Amino acid sequence: MRILVTGGAGLIGSHLVDKLMEKEKSEVIVADNYFTGSKDNLKKWIGHPRFELIRHDISRPLFVEVDQIYHLACPASPIFYKYNSVKTIKTNVMGTLNMLGLAKRLRARILFTSTSEVYGDSLEHPQKETYWGNVNPIGVRSCYDEGKRMAETLMFDYHRQYGIEIRIARIFNTYGPRMNIDDGRVVSNFIAQAIRNEPLTVQLPGTQTRSFCYVLDLVDGLTQLMEGTDTGPINLGNPGEFTMNELAKAVQELINPEVQISEVENTPDDPRQRKPDITKAKEVLGWEPKVNLHEGIPLMEDDFRQRLGVPRT
Ligand SMILES: NC(=O)c1ccc[n+]([C@@H]2O[C@H](COP(=O)([O-])OP(=O)(O)OC[C@H]3O[C@@H](n4cnc5c(N)ncnc54)[C@H](O)[C@@H]3O)[C@@H](O)[C@H]2O)c1
Ligand SMILES: O=c1ccn([C@@H]2O[C@H](COP(=O)(O)OP(=O)(O)O[C@H]3OC[C@@H](O)[C@H](O)[C@H]3O)[C@@H](O)[C@H]2O)c(=O)[nH]1
């Protein structure tokens, strides 16, 4: 089995590669342009005979011979996906078209990592896969959420028109070791700030909620989805829901009780509530997350302390 992982140098991709490489007969090819990922995340595999790393931008065609495609490549942090929004659209739309073209030529099964952001500023709570979403098509987040929605459309059209075997995961906020320290997402921001003893920046109003999934749980869900029979979309996430005020308090308690919490301006169109309904994942895949936020934060703290060079006192 030869498997392509696009975006394999990023947070989720690199942990997925670790899991795929555990199987002795698997060969793994990673294609990544290192926009938000890093070779460091894959350093234990570089030089391994079953592993290959290609610097490649997936908005351009890629010619490789593989049996399965995990298509993850796309910046995930709002700061990075807004930085060059046109590029984010190209990555989502042209990148997914290129990967579907590859899947079509090879008759390979392809899994796409979509997002809870397809539900937008949801009017249903928690979010089920049947909900069509409440998305601003012209806002600053649209390059990402509408880009992912278009990519889901492409996946289903290739499935209906050409019989391509597709899998779609709708991933909810996922965190864990190897996250870029300056990634800009809330968990990495708060952990880095707590370690550096800088105020935790809660964006107003602070009552907005998210549900945080530990990366290794998420990776198990992805491989189970790929190996199962359901096309999806299937929500993958941890239903434990926290306000940003609660998250800041948890990080303060677990990492640095002295650290200040400061309120800062928010960005436009920030979804107010987000929590996955994972009934389908439980029924279809037998999957549910195991690591809760209070267990996951210290695991990420260890990794951040090591990279920041600040040991526990
Ligand atoms: N982590 C989350 O909370 C979350 C939630 C929902 C969906 N997702 C999706 O999961 C996937 C992985 O997310 P992540 O958290 O690991 O993000 P990440 O930013 O850590 O990793 C993304 C990877 O894709 C690469 N990449 C970006 N644009 C590319 C391009 N044009 N060509 C080739 N490589 C490119 C980056 O360099 C990086 O290695 C993304 O598709 C993201 O949208 C993540
Ligand atoms: O320093 C910060 C950063 C963020 N936040 C808040 O934390 C919440 C979460 O923000 P993040 O930037 O971590 O991520 P978001 O939930 O907006 O987007 C995320 O959701 C789904 C994925 O597809 C995206 O890849 C991911 O980034 C938001 O309400 C934001 O306002 C803070 O309070 N402080």
So where are the chain's domains?
2-174+212-236, 176-210+240-271+290-308
Mean pLDDT value of segment 15-41: 97
Distances (CA, A) of 233 to 56, 103, 109, 123, 152: 27, 18, 15, 19, 9
Shortest-distance atom of ligand 2 to CA 202? 33
- pLDDT digits 0-9 by tens, 124-138: 999 999 999 999 999
Shortest-distance atom of ligand 2 to CA 193? 1
| Joined tokens for residue 249 | 């308090």
Report CA(280)–ligand 1 centroid distance (Å).
24
Nearest ligand to the CA atom of 7: 1
Mean pLDDT value of segment 31-37: 98
Q: What is the pLDDT of residue 313?
A: 79
262-267 contacts, C-beta under 8 A, 24 or more apart: 262/199, 262/200, 262/201, 262/202, 263/202, 263/203, 263/204, 263/206, 264/201, 264/202, 264/203, 264/204, 265/203, 265/204, 266/203, 266/204, 266/205, 266/208, 267/78, 267/140, 267/203
Q: Does domain 2-174+212-236 have CATH number 3.40.50.720?
A: yes
Regarding the beta carbon of 188 and ligand 1, being less than 6 Å apart is answered no
- Residues 14 and 76: their CA atoms lie apart, in Å, by 14
- Residues 20 and 12: their CA atoms lie apart, in Å, by 12
Q: Which of 70, 119, 144, 158 is catalytic?
A: 144
Under the banding of pLDDT at 50, 70 and 90, the label for residue 172 is very high
Shortest-distance atom of ligand 1 to CA 213? 3
- CATH code linked to domain 176-210+240-271+290-308: 3.90.25.10
Q: What is the pLDDT of residue 19?
A: 98
Regarding the beta carbon of 76 and ligand 1, being less than 6 Å apart is answered yes
Mean pLDDT value of segment 110-125: 96
Domains 2-174+212-236 and 176-210+240-271+290-308 share a fold: no
Mean pLDDT value of segment 110-119: 98
Report CA(272)–ligand 2 centroid distance (Å).
11
- pLDDT digits 0-9 by tens, 237-280: 999 999 999 999 999 999 999 999 999 999 999 999 999 999 99
Report CA(109)–ligand 2 centroid distance (Å).
31
Report CA(259)–ligand 1 centroid distance (Å).
30
Active site residue 144: yes
Regarding the beta carbon of 77 and ligand 2, being less than 6 Å apart is answered yes
- Residues 115 and 108: their CA atoms lie apart, in Å, by 22
- Residues 123 and 164: their CA atoms lie apart, in Å, by 33
Regarding the beta carbon of 115 and ligand 2, being less than 6 Å apart is answered yes
Nearest ligand to the CA atom of 275: 2
Comparison of pLDDT for 289 and 269, the residue scoring more: 289
Shortest-distance atom of ligand 2 to CA 266? 31
For the cut 90, the answer to whether the pLDDT of residue 312 exceeds it is no
Regarding the beta carbon of 72 and ligand 1, being less than 6 Å apart is answered yes
Nearest CA to ligand 2 atom 34: 202
Regarding the beta carbon of 118 and ligand 2, being less than 6 Å apart is answered no
- Residues 31 and 52: their CA atoms lie apart, in Å, by 9
Question: Rounded to 5 degrees, what are φ and ψ at 51?
Answer: -125, 140
Report CA(207)–ligand 1 centroid distance (Å).
27
Mean pLDDT value of segment 159-186: 97
Mean pLDDT value of segment 201-225: 97
Report CA(312)–ligand 1 centroid distance (Å).
30
Nearest CA to ligand 2 atom 24: 76
- Convert the chain into a string of H (helix), E (strand) and C (coil): CEEEEECCCCHHHHHHHHHHHHCCCCEEEEEECCCCCCHHHHCCCCCCCCEEEEECCCCCCCCCCCCEEEECCCCCCHHHHHHCHHHHHHHHHHHHHHHHHHHHHHCCEEEEEEEHHHHECCCCCCECCCCCCECCCCCCCHHHHHHHHHHHHHHHHHHHHHCCCEEEEEECCEECCCCCCCCCCHHHHHHHHHHHCCCEEEECCCCCEEECEEHHHHHHHHHHHHHCCCCCCEEECCCCEEEHHHHHHHHHHHHCCCCCEEEECCCCCCCCCCCECCHHHHHHHCCCCCCCHHHHHHHHHHHHHHHHCCCCC
Mean pLDDT value of segment 26-53: 97
Nearest CA to ligand 1 atom 1: 174
Regarding the beta carbon of 32 and ligand 1, being less than 6 Å apart is answered yes
Regarding the beta carbon of 162 and ligand 1, being less than 6 Å apart is answered no
Cα of first residue to Cα of last residue in the chain, in angstroms, is 46
Query: Taking CA 30 as the corner, what is the angle to CA 290 and CA 14, rounded to the nearest 5 degrees?
Result: 25
- Residues 140 and 182: their CA atoms lie apart, in Å, by 20
- pLDDT digits 0-9 by tens, 43-90: 999 999 999 999 999 999 999 999 999 999 999 999 999 999 999 999
| ipTM over cut 0.85 | yes
